[in-house]
């Protein structure tokens, strides 16, 4: 019975993630409840049938009651009922974990009693007695139960809502793991499989199951789960020296091939596997036969070939985002794509340089042709002169006058030489014409090549573009975690999640956005009772908006909370010694004080806030990306943080200007107009043009090229009107050169901190020129002025405040995707995380640092979780270290082994983020603990 209940709970857990997602979506979009709740209905139907077959009649009726409410709400769209329904999974799982116990029964009844429908409340009392009856199923009954039926939903490979980073991590390990598992199965066929190798094969299946469930690719998780069951049975056969049913080996091979195709599809190489449902059904049949004790004699026919070659569209649930329906696609990692983009930019630059050289050559040939025409004229003059002298000499000779034969010979030689020179010049002229024609042809070819290189460069830029929605699940989870930790209820709304953003830019934006939403929940949103008193909805709201504006990405994070308290911030700045007591600051300057490292108006230091760590990170990351941050706030209305981040790679249309002997490129989005030196009026630092006045300064002065003085009034210069953080301003330049498209390159770490420099570009002569963002340029100057107001002592106090050590957590798991998922979860909650690949790696890390808590998997190579726990408990330095074991093993036997080893908390996968974080906070708060603390 225990094994049957454990199996039932394990199967229940597999459907929990998709059901939670459907319930959350239905609450967000009640009008689409029917669509969102479809998987929940299927889940409830399957669970109620399975519970009744397992002898849990009362609980099966309880599930049917919930199912009826789901059916009703798909019609009524009642938000209150939807909110109630979103909580059914936790009491259901608690009951399955300990059926018919007083606590589990009371929880199930209490949940129904809270239903908005009075009829359900009445039914709750009737179900209490049947829920208290312990399940009893005979061995014969268990053997005769109907096996599960595989559905298309069971093998779904959904991509929406899946964290792309976690999926990528899973796909790094999965191909090699599957290949190794395939080799172990081949050894079973050859009869050479050992217990150690089958243990390893079972562990790999276990890892794939956990990774698939955590990432959200349930099809992989479910296939791996049933494959693990068969491998566990095969291992038992080897242990007792019994033959493994060859039909089972055949179907295990088929299952491994299916996993390979699923992973290949997720990588973007293959279509959705056509045979997923029939193969999973066969695996379910084997699991059933193993439980019934009939696996040794089970001899099913091979999965029909028609099922393996069926129309792929029949079983297609959802294609991965990177798949291309018109042809095959491949996955290229971001680093390689960046290298390709850089080389494409270099090729485009080289073609531009070559084009410039050809233009120069053409000009030189044109000048040479002009010189040659002049030379032709001189040669003709010389020939005419020689001809006249020869004629004169011949006439003198014929007349009998004095005649010098030597002079005659000289002019004859000169005559011949002039003819030779004239012929050579004509040959050179024809050759120059041929070269000029070749240059023209080369220019035409190069222009076409430049066009193709430009298209290639733009295509590569497009390949780096991803939709912003890929980070939405992480943002939502971050909001939920922070809200749960602070006792608040907050909704997150995303606007513009379909906007395409450079993958590198989006990756670098993720951390600032996580800090912003965490800060909004903790500092901005008021507790529900406070909001109610203020006449606000008890549920707070955070809205993140994203859009592309020219060469910039605009990201806004707006909350409807209490707003920034300018007075409290100013007073805290005085307390920290950042400003003098009598110094007046503008509201914008006061708001920007919250961006300083260590600045916080909170006195209490927690994992979430109180150190001033967060907004300073946001500002630092934005500045390093050559962006800027703006803050606006209204008391008791809310706060808005707006980030503007330039796209630092790709092509851009710019205006080229000359400043102090340097060529500077300014994106055309920053330029309002360009004005000739005689088209404006100027008085002091005010420039008048077309009935408008602008503050003016020299760009050379602004850039530090010439800090002595502005251009004199009697030395007019061209002017460009540019956008700045304080409106349009006029900048004097030496000359306005050109408007063209350039290829921007990353400015690199050396120039990253210089205000205004967003990128560099290479000119045709090979020299580098800076690409300036005028808004960031002026904003950087203001930032320097503001920094000048900070006292050194105050800054030191803030730095000390910001350097408070965060709680360290050691995560130990051999699956890369699991390590990344847990790292994200814990770091988003304010912990410092160190990850290890196995128990041996964890021991090495423990020798270097002492964490506050250890989270470990049970089954790992080299040193598993149980052995790691025993090593920790046997070392005096670590014996009180809290340990949480996270595994898919849910049986009492595994729990007992973990308890005896010294594990404090035993969690089964898939776990909920709230449960894990709750245990971590509790254990860290109460540490040190006794070695054999009770296992949850």
Q: How do residues 416-459 score in pLDDT, each as one tens digit? A: 777 788 788 778 878 888 888 888 888 888 888 878 877 777 77
pLDDT category at 843 given cuts 50, 70, 90 is: very high
Helix (H, G, I), strand (E, B) or coil at 633: strand
What does the pLDDT look like over 590-634, one tens digit per residue? 888 888 776 766 655 455 554 344 677 788 788 777 778 889 999
Q: Which residue has the higher pLDDT, 445 or 410?
A: 445
What does the pLDDT look like over 705-743, one tens digit per residue? 755 544 554 567 899 998 886 778 888 888 888 888 777
pLDDT category at 68 given cuts 50, 70, 90 is: confident
Partners of 495 in the β-ladder:
545
| The predicted structure's pLDDT at residue 50 | 76
Contacts for 856 with CB less than 8 Å, ≥ 6 apart: 811, 812, 813, 839, 842, 865, 868, 869, 883, 884, 885, 886
**How many Cβ atoms sit within 10 Å of the Cβ of residue 712?**
8
What does the pLDDT look like over 652-709, one tens digit per residue? 788 999 888 788 898 888 888 998 888 888 887 888 888 888 888 888 887 877 555 4
pLDDT category at 364 given cuts 50, 70, 90 is: confident
Give CA separation, 174 vs 1, 178, 180, 211, in Å: 34, 6, 10, 9
List the single range of 108-117, 395-404, 558-567 with lowest mean pLDDT: 395-404
pLDDT category at 576 given cuts 50, 70, 90 is: confident
List the single range of 76-80, 302-306, 845-849 with lowest mean pLDDT: 302-306
Residue 936 has pLDDT above 60, yes or no: no
Query: Residue 509, exposed/middle/buried by CB under 10 A (0-12, 13-18, 19+)?
Result: buried
| The predicted structure's pLDDT at residue 760 | 77
Residue 811 has pLDDT above 90, yes or no: yes
- Given a contact cutoff of 8 angstroms between Cβ atoms, the answer to whether 248 and 296 are in contact is no
**Torsional sign, CA 561, 563, 565, 569:** positive
| The predicted structure's pLDDT at residue 141 | 47
Q: Which residue has the higher pLDDT, 237 or 325?
A: 237
Query: How is residue 342 written in tokens?
Result: 């850089």
CA distance 615 to 513: 10
| The predicted structure's pLDDT at residue 74 | 78
Q: Which long-range contacts (CB under 8 A, 24 or more apart) does 578-586 make?
A: 578/789, 578/790, 578/791, 578/794, 578/795, 578/798, 579/789, 579/790, 579/791, 583/789, 585/789
Residue that has been written with the tokens 């808005």 in this structure: 640
List the single range of 281-285, 751-755, 878-882 with lowest mean pLDDT: 751-755
Comparing CA positions, the residue from 509, 341, 358, 487 lying closest to residue 435 is 358
| The predicted structure's pLDDT at residue 617 | 77
| The predicted structure's pLDDT at residue 625 | 75
| The predicted structure's pLDDT at residue 429 | 79
DSSP 563: -
Query: How far from chain centre, in Å, is Cα 739?
Result: 35
Contacts for 438 with CB less than 8 Å, ≥ 6 apart: none
Helix (H, G, I), strand (E, B) or coil at 127: helix
CA distance 215 to 17: 10
**Torsional sign, CA 842, 847, 848, 852:** positive
CA distance 552 to 543: 20
pLDDT category at 363 given cuts 50, 70, 90 is: confident
The pTM is what?
Answer: 0.59
CA distance 510 to 477: 13
Give CA torsion, residues 577, 581, 587, 592, to 10 deg: -10
Task: Taking residues 818-825, report their average pLDDT.
Answer: 84
Partners of 665 in the β-ladder:
656, 771
DSSP 365: H
CA distance 39 to 782: 55
What does the pLDDT look like over 292-327, one tens digit per residue? 778 888 888 887 655 554 444 333 333 333 433 344
Q: Which residue has the higher pLDDT, 848 or 893?
A: 848
What does the pLDDT look like over 739-767, one tens digit per residue? 887 777 666 655 655 667 777 777 766 67
pLDDT category at 160 given cuts 50, 70, 90 is: low
pLDDT category at 560 given cuts 50, 70, 90 is: very high
pLDDT category at 579 given cuts 50, 70, 90 is: confident
Residue 543 has pLDDT above 70, yes or no: yes
Query: How is residue 517 written in tokens?
Result: 């939403």
Residue 35 has pLDDT above 60, yes or no: yes
**How many Cβ atoms sit within 10 Å of the Cβ of residue 648?**
23
Comparing CA positions, the residue from 594, 618, 340, 592 lying closest to residue 461 is 340
| The predicted structure's pLDDT at residue 142 | 45
Q: What is the DSSP string of 633-660?
A: EETTTEEEEEEEEE--SEEEEEEEEEET
How many residues comprise the chain? 936
Which of 316-325, 381-390, 841-850, 885-894 tops mean pLDDT? 841-850
Residue 71 has pLDDT above 90, yes or no: no
Q: Which residue has the higher pLDDT, 316 or 461?
A: 461
């Amino acid at each position: 019975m225990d094994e049957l209940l454990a199996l039932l709970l394990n199967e229940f857990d597999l459907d929990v993630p998709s059901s939670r997602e459907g319930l959350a979506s239905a609450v967000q979009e009640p009008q689409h409840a029917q669509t969102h709740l479809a998987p929940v209905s299927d889940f409830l139907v399957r669970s109620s049938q399975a519970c009744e077959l397992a002898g849990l009649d009362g609980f099966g009726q309880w599930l049917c009651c919930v199912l009826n409410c789901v059916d009703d709400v798909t019609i009524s769209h009642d938000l209150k009922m939807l909110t109630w329904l979103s909580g059914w999974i936790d009491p259901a799982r608690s009951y399955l974990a300990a059926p018919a116990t007083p606590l589990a029964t009371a929880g199930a009844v209490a949940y129904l009693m809270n239903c908005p429908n009075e009829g359900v409340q009445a039914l709750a009392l009737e179900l209490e007695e049947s829920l208290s009856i312990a399940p009893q199923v005979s061995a014969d009954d268990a053997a005769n139960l109907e096996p599960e039926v595989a559905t298309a939903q069971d093998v779904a490979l959904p991509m929406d809502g899946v964290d792309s980073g976690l999926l990528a991590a899973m796909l790094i390990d999965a191909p090699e793991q599957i290949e190794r598992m395939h080799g172990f199965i081949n050894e079973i066929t050859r009869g050479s499989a050992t217990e150690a190798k089958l243990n390893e094969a079972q562990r790999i299946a276990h890892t794939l199951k956990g990774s698939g469930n955590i990432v959200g690719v349930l099809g992989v998780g479910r296939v791996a789960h049933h494959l693990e069951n068969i491998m566990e049975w095969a291992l038992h056969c080897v242990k007792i020296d019994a033959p493994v049913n060859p039909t089972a080996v055949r179907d295990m091979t088929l299952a491994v091939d299916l996993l390979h195709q699923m992973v290949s599809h997720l990588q973007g190489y293959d279509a959705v596997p056509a045979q997923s449902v029939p193969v999973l059904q066969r695996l379910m049949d084997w699991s059933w036969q193993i439980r019934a004790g009939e696996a040794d004699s089970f001899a099913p026919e091979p999965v029909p070939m028609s099922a393996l070659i069926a129309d792929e569209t029949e079983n297609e649930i959802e294609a991965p985002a990177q798949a291309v329906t018109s042809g095959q696609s491949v996955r290229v990692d971001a680093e390689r794509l960046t290298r390709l983009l850089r080389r494409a930019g270099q090729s485009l630059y080289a073609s531009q340089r070559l084009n410039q050289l050809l233009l120069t050559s053409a000009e030189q040939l044109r000048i040479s042709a002009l010189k040659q025409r002049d030379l032709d004229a001189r040669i003709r003059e010389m020939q005419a002169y020689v001809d006249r002298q020869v004629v004169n000499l011949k006439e003198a000779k014929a007349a009998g006058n004095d005649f010098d034969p030597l002079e005659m010979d000289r002019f004859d030689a000169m005559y011949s030489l002039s003819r030779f020179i004239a012929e050579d010049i004509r040959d050179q002229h024809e050759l120059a014409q041929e070269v000029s024609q070749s240059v023209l042809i080369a220019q035409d070819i190069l222009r076409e090549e430049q066009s193709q290189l430009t298209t290639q460069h733009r295509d590569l830029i497009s390949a780096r573009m991803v939709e912003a929605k890929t980070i939405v699940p992480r943002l939502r989870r971050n909001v939920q975690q922070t809200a749960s930790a602070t006792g608040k209820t907050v909704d997150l709304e995303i606007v513009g999640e379909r906007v395409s953003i450079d993958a590198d830019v989006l990756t670098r934006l993720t951390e600032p956005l996580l800090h912003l939403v965490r800060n909004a929940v903790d500092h901005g949103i008021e507790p529900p009772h406070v909001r109610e008193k203020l006449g606000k909805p008890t549920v707070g709201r955070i809205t993140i908006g994203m859009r592309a504006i020219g060469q910039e990405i605009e990201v806004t994070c707006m909350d409807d909370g209490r707003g920034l308290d300018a007075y409290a911030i100013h007073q805290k700045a005085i307390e920290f010694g950042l400003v003098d007591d009598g110094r007046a600051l503008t509201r914008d300057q006061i708001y920007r004080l919250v961006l300083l490292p260590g600045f916080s108006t909170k006195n209490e230091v927690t994992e979430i806030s109180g150190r001033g760590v967060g907004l300073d990170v946001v500002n630092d990351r934005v500045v390093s990306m050559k962006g800027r941050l703006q803050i606006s706030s209204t008391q008791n209305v809310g706060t808005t943080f707006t980030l503007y981040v330039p796209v630092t790679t790709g092509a851009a249309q710019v205006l080229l200007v000359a400043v102090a002997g340097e060529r500077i490129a300014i994106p055309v989005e920053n330029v309002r107009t360009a004005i000739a030196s005689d088209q404006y009026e100027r008085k002091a630092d005010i420039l008048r043009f077309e009935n408008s006045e602008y503050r003016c300064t020299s760009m050379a002065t602004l850039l530090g090229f010439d800090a002595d003085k502005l251009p004199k009034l009697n030395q007019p210069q061209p002017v460009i009107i540019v956008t700045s953080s304080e409106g349009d301003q006029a900048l004097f330049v030496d000359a306005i050169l050109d408007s063209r498209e350039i290829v921007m390159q990353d400015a690199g770490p050396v120039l990253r901190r210089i205000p205004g420099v967003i990128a560099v570009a290479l000119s045709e002569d090979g020299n580098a020129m800076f690409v300036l963002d005028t808004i960031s340029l002026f904003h950087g100057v203001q930032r320097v002025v503001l920094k000048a107001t900070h006292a050194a002592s105050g800054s030191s106090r803030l730095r000390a405040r910001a350097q408070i050590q965060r709680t360290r957590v050691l995560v130990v798991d051999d699956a890369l995707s699991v390590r990344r998922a847990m790292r994200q979860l814990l770091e988003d909650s304010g912990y410092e995380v160190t990850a290890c690949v196995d128990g041996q790696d964890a021991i090495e890390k423990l020798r270097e640092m002492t964490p506050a808590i250890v989270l470990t998997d049970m089954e790992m190579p080299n040193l598993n979780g149980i052995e790691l726990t025993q090593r920790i408990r046997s070392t005096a330095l670590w014996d009180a270290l809290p340990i949480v074991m996270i595994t898919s093993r849910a049986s009492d036997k595994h729990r007992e082994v973990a308890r005896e080893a010294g594990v404090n908390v035993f969690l089964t996968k898939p776990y909920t983020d709230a449960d894990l974080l709750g245990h971590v906070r509790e254990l860290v708060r109460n540490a040190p603990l006794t070695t054999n603390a009770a296992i949850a």
